[in-house]
Structure 1
């Protein structure tokens, strides 16, 4: 019985402390034309910044091929720039913490989506 209480306490502590549950949504703006038969205005990518402010989580609802992900700071300097192959979920680790005023930009060369990392502070 004591072991069950300890196990329950451990699970509760882990569930509370995992940073995955503490992510902030990055609202993206832009237009992304997919070759489909129906018209949709939802972007095929959703973006969150993890609670540690160093990890971006990108979730793709469609296979977009290779896209360019760029993060610029408030001074316009590029702090992250890399081509990635889209998967349902991609985690990008930044070298430095994201700050208020940083912008994430995602493009395939034709379509473009971008958003301020901390719009809901």
Structure 2
């Protein structure tokens, strides 16, 4: 599944995330967020080598259940999961390399 370009208002249920198989990245943010917009080229660059990783961009905000279940405080926050379990997270990433490193952690076999 290629990287999503837009934040979705229709967030998945936490139960479906917990049951997801394989590598998955949840990106919490908002389309109007300047920091989120500035991070997009870095995220895009990192995902060029990891196109097999599912990526869900979730529009976050006050009272949004999925973001609250992951205790999201700042945007963008990327949650890197493998088989429904959080492996790592990046808050306001500033380098494509740190995103790539986290992507490798969830794609390499253990």
TM-score of the aligned structures, taking structure 1 as reference length: 0.30
Question: Which of the two has greater helix per residue?
Answer: 2
TM-score, normalising length from structure 2?
A: 0.32
More relative contact order in 1 or in 2 (CA 8 Å, sep 6+)? 2
Which entry has the higher C-alpha Rg, 1 or 2?
Answer: 1
More strand by share: 1
